Each structure stands twice: as structure tokens, then as C-alpha cells.
């Protein structure tokens, strides 16, 4: 296979992002439909979908188990049919677990004609390359967040989904939670009036620092390791594809990659995506930011990490509202998740952790001296007291997988399609760039390019 899958799409770099809005949420997998072409075979009405797993670390293992769980509850809708990982031990364990073939090189998995879709759960710097290669081979893609490592890669994915007509679901399960679709309806119904600001947070704490505790380093593993201990370090880096710089093997970088800029954006890309992506779902339409800035630092965990342990994002949008996100990996107290409007406020999650299962969201009308700011018509329609909107308790992860598999049959857009995913990752990547460069950035949507000066027009 040629090694220039990303580079050969340079001609697509002139393609501007099209203005697309998210469609209505389709139901979770509800039976199979008429035959559709997916990849190298025709997917029949009762065919089981064959899924390949690329990246069998903690996240890849979890997502594969969730696909299997879904199949067990939904008439054998899919199965794990092949696995791939650059770490021999992970590859072997998962190949044996699912009784399938395992590959060190993901391209061998993609060459299998029976594979209909792949789960891409590799480190972030590989996401775009693997998704592009998969779509080249006619596979649909369940692509783990944060979707891509760079904004140029996001543009390439948007163009390639359009070119190949593949189904691509970004794996942020929060977007399939009922809470966001109920918030979307509340906003559309006029319950908050003109939207002003969305705010949220993502806070954690630990003894040894985020991406250290719970991420053990196998001292025996590495490029010189024998048998189960072998790691294809050169492949993992992706240096041949210009994905990351060449470096000597470092177990901390391999097992704790989210601490390093070469492969991750730290808090922003690992955690903020779970907030920004669903916000784009419930806003009136997915939006690119106009202006982005960020701050923070390494305040507590002064180890090998390059990414901050405390990070804050502020973005402005052309439609006249702001996004404010706060985080620390050294304190676990959340700020409530709130969407503020001139006439009302939606409290998404009282304790601020956006993917939590909650029984309801609260809409609080803006009332001054016993009168609704929205006027008599607002008061007649919604009242002046807090309103609780019940939330369906369906597991968001299972709903997200079901939505993806259903869309493989119908060829409809999934909940977190590539355009919505791109709008989320752009603001996050701009925040990372702003933090690293110490400057405010402005986004040129037409050119897919950041500038340090406001964009005219």
C-alpha cells in the first residue's frame, strides 16, 4: 500500500468547509433495513456487521467490549472480526479474546474484504491517517475523540467523508445522551431566548497526576522486546508519515502519551471534547469559533509532562455568544454545566460532569421583580418558576454504537458526524495553540486557517 495517503490529498486543501447542520437524532439501532453497499461487500438486511479494532489499549479494549455488549442485546448486530496493535501483547490478548486474527500493522486489517467498519482507538496523532486509509478501503469508521490531532487533518476528513460517502461517527458518546437533545429542543422552543454563553468544566484529582495513576508502564516492553514484549516503536511514532518526530523509545511516551504535545493536546483534547461536541449538538447549529484564547499551567504535577495540569478555554462565536471551559487535574470540584440566555438558563448537570446520567435538566426563567424578562408571552408559555425536563436514562455509549450501526445500514449521518466533530475539534486545537504560543487566535472558516488578527468579512 502506498504510504502517502494523507499527502496525496493536498488537492483537497482548497475545499472550503460547507455549512452543514446536525439532523434530528435518529433512534438507537431499531432493526435492519434494505441492502446498502458498504466497502467490498453488499450489507444485507440481516447481515452481521464485521468490525475491526485498531488500537487495543485501554480505550480500544473498552469500546470493543461495548460493541460486543450491543451485539449480545441486539440480535447479533455486529462482531469483532479482527484486531490490530503495535504492542504484541495487546494484539495477542485481544485476538485470543475474540478468536480472530491479530495484526501489528493496521493496513493488513484494512486489506481484509470481510471488514465492514473499524474502530480507530489509537493515540491521537494516528487518528486521521487511519481513518483516511480505512475510508480509502471502503470501510466505515467509528473514530475515537478528539477525532484528529490537527485542524488541517479535520479538513481532510470532512472532504474525504464527502468524497467517499462513508459513515464516520466520532466516538464521543456524550452526543447520544438524551440530555443534549432535550436541551436542543428547549433552546429551539425559545426557553432561554437569545443565547449568551455556554460554560462548563472538567475536573479531576489524583495522587500521582493525570495519565500517571492507572497508566502503568510495562518495563519489559519496547522495540527490543521479545515475543509478547515487542513494540513496533517506529510504527507507533508514525515518523514515516510525518505524524510525529523520531525519538528514542520512551515507555512514558508510549504508555502515557497524553502527557506529550507530539501525540495529544492533554486536557483539551482528552476531556474538553466531551463538552464542546455535545454543545454543538444542542446549539441552534454546529458552529466554528471566531476567536479563541487559553491559559493555565503545570501548577502541581511537575513531572515529565509537557501539557498543563490546569487549563482554561474562552471562545467567541460570530452569532454573539461565548464558550467558557475550566479544568484542573489537581482539584475535583466541578463548575455547573450551564447554557445561559437572556430570558432563561439551562442547567445541564448540577455538579458539572457532562457525561453523567442525570434524571432531568432544569430551565430557570430569568425573572426580575417577579416579572419574566421574556415578557408576558414568555410567562404565559413557560411560567416564571423552574422547569424540570425529564431525561431518558438509556446508556449513551450503547445508544452511540447503535446509532453508528444503524447509519451503516441507512447511510444517514450519525449523531456526531464529521462536520459537527470538526467544529468541536477546531476550537479545542485553537485553544491548545493559543496556550502554547501565548496569543489570541482568530479562525478563518473559509481558509481553514488561524490568524493573530481578526478576520474581516
Residue 284's pLDDT band, with cuts at 50, 70 and 90, is confident
423 within some domain: no
Residue-level pLDDT at 26: 33
Confidence class for position 61, pLDDT limits 50, 70, 90 = very high
77 vs 269: CA distance, rounded Å: 31
**From CA 363, how far away is CA 352, in angstroms rounded?**
15
Classify residue 227: in a domain, yes or no: no
The tally of domains found in the chain comes to 2
Look at residue 283 and tell me whether its pLDDT is greater than 80.
yes
pLDDT in tens, 190-217: 999 999 999 999 999 999 999 999 999 9
Residue 2 belongs to a domain:
no
The verdict on 200 and 154 lying in the same domain is no
Q: Is residue 131 part of a domain?
A: yes
In this prediction, residue 335 carries a pLDDT of 85
**pLDDT of 172 above 60:** yes
pLDDT confidence of residue 267: 95
Q: Are 150 and 293 found together in one domain?
A: no
Q: Are residues 293 and 440 in the same domain?
A: yes
Q: Check whether residue 97 and residue 171 sit in a common domain.
A: yes
Distance in angstroms (rounded) separating the CA atoms of residues 113 and 96: 21
Are 387 and 402 part of one and the same domain? Answer: no
- Regarding whether 138 and 269 lie in a shared domain, the answer is no
Is residue 122, in this structure, part of any structural domain at all? yes
- Residues 138, 276, single domain; the answer is no
pLDDT at 41: 59
Summary count for the chain: helices (H), strands (E): 13, 20
Residue 232 lies in a domain: no
- What is the predicted pLDDT for the residue at 199? 93
Quote the CA–CA distance of 42 and 205 in Å, as a whole number: 48
Based on the fold, state whether residues 278 and 315 are members of the same structural domain.
yes
**Domain that includes residue 53, residue range:** 22-176+398-418
For residue 286, the model assigns a pLDDT of 81
Same-domain status, 185 and 168: no
Q: What is the CATH number of the domain that holds 404?
A: 3.40.50.720
pTM surpassing 0.75? yes
**For residue 441, what are the β-bridge partners?**
292
Kindly give, in sequence order, each residue whose CB lies less than 8 Å from that of residue 55, ignoring residues fewer than 6 positions away: 84, 85, 119, 120, 121, 122, 123, 126, 144
For residue 351, is pLDDT > 70? Answer: no
Is residue 154 domain-shared with residue 199, that is, in the same domain? no
Q: Quick one: average pLDDT of 368-396?
A: 95
Percent of the chain with pLDDT over 90: 82
Q: What angle do CA 349, 355, 361 make, to 5 degrees?
A: 30
CATH number at residue 186: 3.30.360.10
- Does an H or E element contain 444, and which? strand 441-444
Residue 310 lies in a domain: yes
Examine residue 433 and state whether it is found in any structural domain, yes or no: yes
Query: Is residue 304 domain-shared with residue 347, that is, in the same domain?
Result: yes
Dmax over CA atoms of the chain, in Å, equals 75
Residue 289 sits in the same domain as residue 375: yes
- Residues 74-84 pLDDT 10s: 988 999 999 99
Structure confidence at residue 428 (pLDDT): 98
Amino acid at each position: 500500500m502506498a504510504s502517502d495517503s494523507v499527502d496525496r490529498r493536498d488537492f483537497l486543501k482548497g475545499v472550503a468547509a460547507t455549512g452543514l447542520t446536525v439532523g434530528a437524532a435518529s433512534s438507537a439501532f431499531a432493526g435492519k433495513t434494505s441492502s446498502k453497499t458498504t466497502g467490498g461487500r453488499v450489507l444485507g438486511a440481516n447481515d452481521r456487521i464485521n468490525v475491526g479494532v485498531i488500537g487495543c489499549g485501554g480505550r480500544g479494549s473498552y469500546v470493543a467490549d461495548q460493541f460486543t455488549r450491543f451485539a449480545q442485546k441486539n440480535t447479533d448486530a455486529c462482531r469483532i472480526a479482527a484486531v490490530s496493535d503495535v504492542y504484541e501483547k495487546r494484539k495477542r490478548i485481544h485476538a485470543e479474546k475474540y478468536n480472530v486474527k491479530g495484526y501489528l500493522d493496521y493496513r493488513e486489517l484494512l486489506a481484509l474484504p470481510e471488514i465492514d467498519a473499524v474502530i480507530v482507538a489509537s493515540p491521537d496523532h494516528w487518528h486521521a491517517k487511519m481513518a483516511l486509509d480505512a475510508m480509502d478501503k471502503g470501510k466505515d469508521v467509528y473514530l475515537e475523540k478528539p477525532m484528529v490531532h490537527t485542524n488541517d487533518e479535520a479538513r481532510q476528513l470532512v472532504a474525504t467523508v464527502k468524497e467517499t460517502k462513508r459513515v464516520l461517527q466520532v466516538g464521543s458518546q456524550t452526543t447520544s445522551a438524551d440530555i443534549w437533545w432535550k436541551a436542543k429542543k428547549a433552546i429551539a422552543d425559545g426557553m432561554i431566548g437569545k443565547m449568551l454563553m455556554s460554560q462548563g468544566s472538567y475536573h479531576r484529582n489524583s495522587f500521582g497526576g493525570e495519565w500517571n495513576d492507572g497508566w502503568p508502564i510495562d518495563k519489559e516492553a519496547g522495540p527490543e522486546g521479545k515475543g509478547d514484549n515487542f513494540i513496533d516503536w517506529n510504527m507507533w511514532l508514525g515518523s514515516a508519515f510525518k505524524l510525529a518526530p523520531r525519538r528514542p523509545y520512551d515507555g512514558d511516551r508510549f504508555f502515557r502519551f497524553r502527557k506529550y504535545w507530539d501525540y495529544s493536546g492533554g486536557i483539551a483534547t482528552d476531556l474538553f471534547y466531551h463538552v464542546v461536541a455535545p454543545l454543538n449538538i444542542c446549539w441552534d447549529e454546529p458552529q466554528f469559533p471566531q476567536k479563541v484564547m487559553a491559559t493555565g499551567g503545570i501548577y502541581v504535577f511537575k513531572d515529565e509532562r509537557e501539557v498543563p495540569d490546569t487549563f482554561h478555554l474562552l471562545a467567541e462565536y460570530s452569532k454573539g455568544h461565548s464558550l467558557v471551559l475550566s479544568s484542573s487535574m489537581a482539584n475535583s470540584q466541578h463548575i455547573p454545566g450551564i447554557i445561559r440566555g437572556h430570558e432563561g438558563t439551562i442547567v445541564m448537570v448540577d455538579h458539572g460532569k457532562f457525561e453523567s446520567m442525570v434524571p432531568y435538566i432544569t430551565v430557570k426563567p430569568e425573572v426580575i421583580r417577579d416579572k419574566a424578562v421574556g415578557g408576558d408571552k414568555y410567562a404565559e408559555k413557560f411560567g416564571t418558576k423552574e422547569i424540570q425536563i425529564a431525561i431518558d436514562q438509556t446508556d449513551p455509549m450503547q445508544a452511540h454504537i447503535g446509532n453508528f450501526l444503524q447509519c451503516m445500514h441507512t447511510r444517514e449521518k450519525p449523531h456526531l458526524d464529521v462536520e459537527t466533530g470538526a467544529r468541536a475539534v477546531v476550537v479545542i486545537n485553537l485553544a491548545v495553540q493559543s496556550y502554547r504560543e501565548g496569543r489570541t487566535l482568530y479562525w478563518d472558516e473559509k481558509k481553514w486557517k488561524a490568524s493573530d488578527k481578526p478576520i474581516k468579512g
